Protein backbone atom coordinates (compact mmCIF):
# COMPACT_ATOMS: atom_id res chain seq x y z
CA UNK A 1 0.00 0.00 0.00
CA UNK A 2 1.02 3.59 -0.57
CA UNK A 3 0.42 6.11 2.21
CA UNK A 4 -2.67 7.40 0.42
CA UNK A 5 -4.06 3.91 -0.27
CA UNK A 6 -3.47 2.92 3.35
CA UNK A 7 -5.32 5.97 4.62
CA UNK A 8 -8.24 5.33 2.25
CA UNK A 9 -8.38 1.69 3.38
CA UNK A 10 -8.42 2.70 7.05
CA UNK A 11 -11.25 5.17 6.43
CA UNK A 12 -13.40 2.32 5.09
CA UNK A 13 -13.13 0.70 8.52
CA UNK A 14 -14.65 3.82 10.16
CA UNK A 15 -12.21 3.91 13.09
CA UNK A 16 -13.08 5.64 16.37
CA UNK A 17 -9.60 7.16 16.51
CA UNK A 18 -6.84 7.54 13.99
CA UNK A 19 -3.20 8.55 14.48
CA UNK A 20 -1.43 9.60 11.32
CA UNK A 21 2.31 9.45 11.91
CA UNK A 22 3.37 10.92 8.59
CA UNK A 23 3.24 14.67 8.08
CA UNK A 24 0.26 16.07 6.21
CA UNK A 25 2.12 17.32 3.19
CA UNK A 26 -0.46 17.51 0.42
CA UNK A 27 -4.01 18.49 -0.36
CA UNK A 28 -5.29 14.90 -0.68
CA UNK A 29 -4.04 13.90 2.78
CA UNK A 30 -5.69 16.92 4.36
CA UNK A 31 -8.96 16.16 2.57
CA UNK A 32 -8.85 12.55 3.84
CA UNK A 33 -8.23 13.74 7.40
CA UNK A 34 -11.17 16.16 7.16
CA UNK A 35 -13.32 13.33 5.80
CA UNK A 36 -12.30 11.04 8.68
CA UNK A 37 -13.26 13.70 11.24
CA UNK A 38 -16.54 14.37 9.46
CA UNK A 39 -17.25 10.61 9.64
CA UNK A 40 -16.84 10.77 13.42
CA UNK A 41 -13.23 9.68 13.95
CA UNK A 42 -10.94 11.41 16.41
CA UNK A 43 -7.82 12.14 14.34
CA UNK A 44 -4.34 13.02 15.56
CA UNK A 45 -1.99 14.17 12.83
CA UNK A 46 1.39 15.77 12.35
CA UNK A 47 2.23 19.03 10.62
CA UNK A 48 5.73 20.47 10.83
CA UNK A 49 5.20 24.01 12.13
CA UNK A 50 6.33 26.16 15.03
CA UNK A 51 2.94 27.47 16.16
CA UNK A 52 -0.82 27.24 15.75
CA UNK A 53 -1.21 30.20 13.42
CA UNK A 54 1.37 28.85 11.00
CA UNK A 55 -0.21 25.39 11.08
CA UNK A 56 -3.62 26.81 10.14
CA UNK A 57 -2.13 28.94 7.37
CA UNK A 58 -0.14 25.99 6.04
CA UNK A 59 -3.25 23.81 5.82
CA UNK A 60 -5.27 26.50 4.06
CA UNK A 61 -2.43 27.34 1.66
CA UNK A 62 -2.56 23.82 0.20
CA UNK A 63 -5.81 24.86 -1.47
CA UNK A 64 -6.54 27.36 -4.23
CA UNK A 65 -8.29 30.56 -3.18
CA UNK A 66 -11.50 29.40 -4.86
CA UNK A 67 -11.70 26.44 -2.40
CA UNK A 68 -10.49 28.21 0.74
CA UNK A 69 -13.89 29.22 2.09
CA UNK A 70 -15.14 25.62 1.96
CA UNK A 71 -11.91 24.23 3.43
CA UNK A 72 -11.91 26.89 6.15
CA UNK A 73 -15.46 25.93 7.11
CA UNK A 74 -14.57 22.23 7.19
CA UNK A 75 -11.36 22.86 9.13
CA UNK A 76 -13.16 24.98 11.73
CA UNK A 77 -15.78 22.26 12.21
CA UNK A 78 -13.14 19.50 12.47
CA UNK A 79 -10.45 21.20 14.55
CA UNK A 80 -10.43 20.59 18.30
CA UNK A 81 -6.91 21.72 19.21
CA UNK A 82 -3.43 22.35 17.91
CA UNK A 83 -0.43 21.49 20.04
CA UNK A 84 2.92 22.85 18.89
CA UNK A 85 6.15 21.59 20.43
CA UNK A 86 9.75 22.77 20.41
CA UNK A 87 12.78 21.18 22.03
CA UNK A 88 15.13 23.76 23.56
CA UNK A 89 18.63 23.21 24.98
CA UNK A 90 18.58 23.27 28.78
CA UNK A 91 20.48 25.92 30.69
CA UNK A 92 22.93 23.30 32.03
CA UNK A 93 23.47 22.08 28.41
CA UNK A 94 22.61 18.53 29.56
CA UNK A 95 19.82 17.71 27.18
CA UNK A 96 16.74 19.49 25.98
CA UNK A 97 13.39 20.49 27.44
CA UNK A 98 10.01 20.72 25.77
CA UNK A 99 8.20 24.02 25.22
CA UNK A 100 4.56 23.59 24.28
CA UNK A 101 1.87 25.76 22.72
CA UNK A 102 -1.77 24.74 23.16
CA UNK A 103 -4.56 26.27 21.11
CA UNK A 104 -8.09 25.05 21.73
CA UNK A 105 -10.67 25.69 19.05
CA UNK A 106 -13.19 27.94 20.78
CA UNK A 107 -15.97 29.88 19.06
CA UNK A 108 -13.69 32.92 19.08
CA UNK A 109 -10.79 31.04 17.47
CA UNK A 110 -13.18 29.67 14.84
CA UNK A 111 -14.35 33.20 14.07
CA UNK A 112 -10.75 34.43 13.72
CA UNK A 113 -10.00 31.59 11.30
CA UNK A 114 -13.20 32.07 9.28
CA UNK A 115 -12.61 35.81 8.91
CA UNK A 116 -8.95 35.33 7.91
CA UNK A 117 -7.68 37.00 11.08
CA UNK A 118 -5.30 34.25 12.16
CA UNK A 119 -2.74 36.92 13.02
CA UNK A 120 -4.89 37.77 16.06
CA UNK A 121 -4.91 34.22 17.42
CA UNK A 122 -1.73 34.67 19.47
CA UNK A 123 -3.00 37.70 21.40
CA UNK A 124 -6.35 35.98 21.92
CA UNK A 125 -4.62 32.87 23.28
CA UNK A 126 -2.52 34.99 25.65
CA UNK A 127 -5.69 36.45 27.08
CA UNK A 128 -7.27 33.01 27.57
CA UNK A 129 -4.58 31.14 29.49
CA UNK A 130 -7.26 30.37 32.05
CA UNK A 131 -9.11 28.21 29.51
CA UNK A 132 -6.07 26.00 29.03
CA UNK A 133 -4.49 27.83 26.11
CA UNK A 134 -0.82 28.68 26.16
CA UNK A 135 1.35 30.35 23.53
CA UNK A 136 4.88 29.25 22.78
CA UNK A 137 6.03 32.56 24.28
CA UNK A 138 4.17 31.72 27.51
CA UNK A 139 5.80 28.29 27.63
CA UNK A 140 9.30 29.59 26.98
CA UNK A 141 8.80 32.42 29.47
CA UNK A 142 7.91 29.81 32.13
CA UNK A 143 11.08 27.83 31.30
CA UNK A 144 13.21 30.99 31.67
CA UNK A 145 11.45 31.92 34.90
CA UNK A 146 12.09 28.42 36.30
CA UNK A 147 15.74 28.75 35.16
CA UNK A 148 15.45 25.65 32.98
CA UNK A 149 16.65 27.56 29.91
CA UNK A 150 18.77 30.69 29.72
CA UNK A 151 17.54 34.08 28.59
CA UNK A 152 20.06 33.96 25.77
CA UNK A 153 18.68 30.63 24.55
CA UNK A 154 15.16 32.04 24.67
CA UNK A 155 16.23 35.11 22.70
CA UNK A 156 18.07 32.95 20.15
CA UNK A 157 14.94 30.85 19.71
CA UNK A 158 13.22 34.09 18.72
CA UNK A 159 10.20 33.69 20.93
CA UNK A 160 10.68 36.12 23.81
CA UNK A 161 11.79 39.71 23.52
CA UNK A 162 14.26 40.99 26.12
CA UNK A 163 11.59 43.25 27.63
CA UNK A 164 9.34 40.26 28.32
CA UNK A 165 12.16 38.28 29.92
CA UNK A 166 13.15 41.15 32.20
CA UNK A 167 9.62 41.81 33.45
pTM for the whole thing? 0.84
Which pLDDT score is estimated for 7?
82
pLDDT at 47: 86
- Phi-psi group of 150: left, alpha or beta (phi > 0 → left; psi -120 to 50 → alpha; rest → beta): beta
- In 24-129, which ranges are E strands? 42-46, 81-89, 96-104
pLDDT for res 115: 94
Listed as ranges, residues in the chain with pLDDT below 70 are 128-130, 160-167
- DSSP letters of 40-70? T-EEEEE---SSHHHHHHHHHHTS-HHHHHH
Amino acid sequence: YSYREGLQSILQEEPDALFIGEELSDRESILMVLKAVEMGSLVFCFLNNSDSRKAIKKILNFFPKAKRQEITRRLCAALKAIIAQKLIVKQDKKGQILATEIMLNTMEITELIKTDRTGEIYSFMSELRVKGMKTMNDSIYELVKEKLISQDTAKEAGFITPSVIES
